[in-house]
Amino acid sequence: MRPYFEKMPGFGKPMKENRIARTQDSRAKLEAIEAEIAAAKKAVEEVGIPTAKINERGGLTVWQRLEYLVDPGTWQPLHSLYNPADNEEGTTNVVDGLGKIGGRWAVIIGFDNKVLAGAWIAGQPDNILRVTNLAKRLHIPLVWLVNCSGVKLPDQEKFYADRRGSGAPFFRHAELEQAGIPVLAGIYGTNPAGGGYQAISPTILIAHKDANIAVGGVGIVSGMAPQGGFDVAGLEQLINVTRDMKSKPPGSVSTHYDSTGFFTRVCDEETGVLDGIKEYMAMIPAYDPKFFRVAEPAEPQLPVGELYNLLPINQKSDYSFDDILARLVDGSEHMEFRPGYGPEVYTGLVKIDGMLIGAIGNRQGLLPKGYPEYADYPGIGGKLYRQGLIKMNEFVTLCARDRVPVIWFQDTTGIDVGDIAEKAELLGIGQSLVYSIQNADIPMMLVVLRKGSAAAHYIMGGPTANRQNAFTLGTAATEIYVMHGETAAVASYSRRAIKDKDSGKPLEPLAKTMNEMAQKYYDTSRPAYCARYGFVDEIVDLKALRGYLKAFAGAVYQNPKSICPRHQMLLPRVIKG
Amino acid sequence: MADVLAPLAGKILAVLVEPGAKVEEDDELIVIEALKMENTVYAPSAGTVKEIKVKIGDSVEDDTLLLVLE
């Protein structure tokens, strides 16, 4: 299949100087938003006890542990700004992302030991579930840096119980292990109760000499029997018991290495634990990337930096999606699937780091005259019509057959509406795409380049495709909502406007209400909001997007659950004709 | 000579060239606001802008002559 993949047709056009000049304002706005996001991420990194103080105590922070553990230049952080419960700490208190350890991709997560000694706090279980889902979808190891003081007791009602509460990750660890996906844990500090299960549920446990893990820590062991209240005598007794237990906390190394043998290994140095993880990573099955590469890796022919001039911050401006994609994929080469059919959507095979990937994206701007063919009105890019929906169904199905992972790029205002569109079966064909995606059982990722809107956000590989979507990225231009705020205000208040008008009421108050609604939609669809509440898994600089695409490609081909020999693939033959 | 026609009805939002300007194929000529989007009209071929028939703010119908290239 070398003739198919080694050198694919080039695509994408160079930018002209006048266009670059004309888009400098948009570029500056994108870069300003990226700077705001970067500052917010930095603030999250610095939350809690200062690094110097942790180091004075002889420990490393989670960030320093990651720095030591992860191969330089491979860390692709996720959920940096995720804080769905609006915790005062500004974080869910875990740090996670994709990174290589000794040349192999892993999903890596650690408790932030600068904040409440790595406590469970609200929103954290959902963060962990996203991470365990990611390891499952990519079929790569999950590596934990456990340093967890257990429940933040004053807030327990927010996350302890519930179907997706803090105990759910332990079941997910078991689920990963049953799927043959190892969970490695480096264990530091005091890990009582919930922290104990965080430490015991992984597959291999490598502990620091001062670590302990236990069903219950000093606090609850010494005060377990409620006495109906507190008095001074009771407190005196509590103080004596706690002092005694603090000198030898339950579940220390002497218990769980020497006695139970739960710990696989104990290390005197903090970095020794991380060296141990590296050793175990080297034992885990992983294909050499060459096994699956269809060509030598190559950088895009067209400059990645021009993405800032190509993607307009103005949501109404059109642009060439093909030109954007050409700046993200190897050699700016592709094999387009059914060009001309369903022109509002791009579908094609591309290479990322030499690996074969299916790409799907919304095209923008005017569509050819006469399209959509079922209507007497013109078609516009960003919207989905019958042919585009059928084409995506076909492409996803063929990618699944050939075991080719898919990267989606959304900038969509939705599916065509109205009775003509209903007669054209768009509701049914849209749901067919959901079925095709669910049936595919291949890893997918999504980049919401600009708009993620209406049902189109769901059916184009959105994060609601829980079992297929590994993760979703946003950009500085991303906005995600069910519809534009002004459209929503019209939908909500148009009848009231008629009533108010007919009854002689002044219209100013209603106009104010509608403006407030539109503003709320704007405020709750910004990139930082999308990241905070989990609409996306990370907001990424445009210049950093390719790094995530490479991480995705490398991870999905590291140890895939199933393989299609390239000479038995159908999709390239269908494209060639 | 090539007539550049409005591909759809809408309002002229921007005229990006002047008479006498030399353009290449696919250069941006005019932006029409329609269907809630700002839609760019591109040069169908290389040439020189001979005459511009619309101005910013004009409402145009489908197939209205926008400019002439020679």
Q: Which residues of B touch A18 (CB under 8 A)?
A: 27
Q: Which residues of B touch A364 (CB under 8 A)?
A: 37
Pairing of strands A355-362, A345-352: antiparallel
Q: How far apart are CA A416 and CA A348, in angstroms?
A: 23
Q: How far is B19 from chain A (nearest CA, A)?
A: 17
Output the CATH code of domain A292-478+536-570.
Answer: 3.90.226.10
How much is the pLDDT for A247? 65
Identify the residue whose tokens are 């400098």: A24
Hey, which residues does B34 pair with through a beta bridge? Answer: B37
Q: How far apart are CA A403 and CA A562, in angstroms?
A: 7
Helix (H, G, I), strand (E, B) or coil at A137: helix
Q: How far apart are CA A48 and CA A46, in angstroms?
A: 7
Task: Please identify which of the residues A44, A115, A119, A415 carries the catalytic annotation.
Answer: A415
Q: Is A151 a catalytic residue?
A: yes
The whole model's pTM is what? 0.94
Query: In the structure encoding, which two tokens stand for residue B28, read together?
Result: 């941006």
Q: Which positions of chain A have pLDDT values less than 70?
A: 218-224, 245-247
Any A CB within 8 A of B28 CB = yes
Q: How far apart are CA A233 and CA A243, in angstroms?
A: 16
CA dihedral A217, A223, A228, A230 (to 10 degrees): -120
Domain-wise residue ranges, chain A: 61-218+227-283, 292-478+536-570, 483-524
Q: How far apart are CA A337 and CA A182, in angstroms?
A: 37
CATH number, domain A61-218+227-283, options 3.90.226.10, 3.40.50.300, 3.40.50.720, 2.60.40.10: 3.90.226.10
Q: How far is A379 from chain B (nearest CA, A)?
A: 9
pLDDT in tens, A144-155: 999 999 999 999
Identify the residue whose tokens are 């997007």: A545
A189: left (phi over 0), alpha (psi -120 to 50) or beta: left
A–B CB contacts, 8 A cutoff, strictly below = 39
* Fold match between domain A61-218+227-283 and domain A292-478+536-570: yes
How much is the pLDDT for A246? 65
| Per-position DSSP letters for A5-33, written without gaps between them | HSSPPB---PPPHHHHHHTHHHHHHHHHH
Contact A150, A194 (CB under 8 A): yes
Domains of chain B by range and CATH? 2-69 (2.40.50.100)
Nearest to A184 by CA among A141, A139, A213: A141
Contact A360, A398 (CB under 8 A): no
Q: How far apart are CA A399 and CA A575, in angstroms?
A: 12
Task: Please answer yes or no on whether A378 and B16 come within 8 Å at the CB atom.
Answer: no
Task: Please answer yes or no on whether B35 and A314 come within 8 Å at the CB atom.
Answer: no
Q: What is the 3-state secondary structure (H, E, C) of A430-471?
A: HHHHHHHHHHHCCCEEEEECCEEEHHHHHHCCCCCCCCCEEE
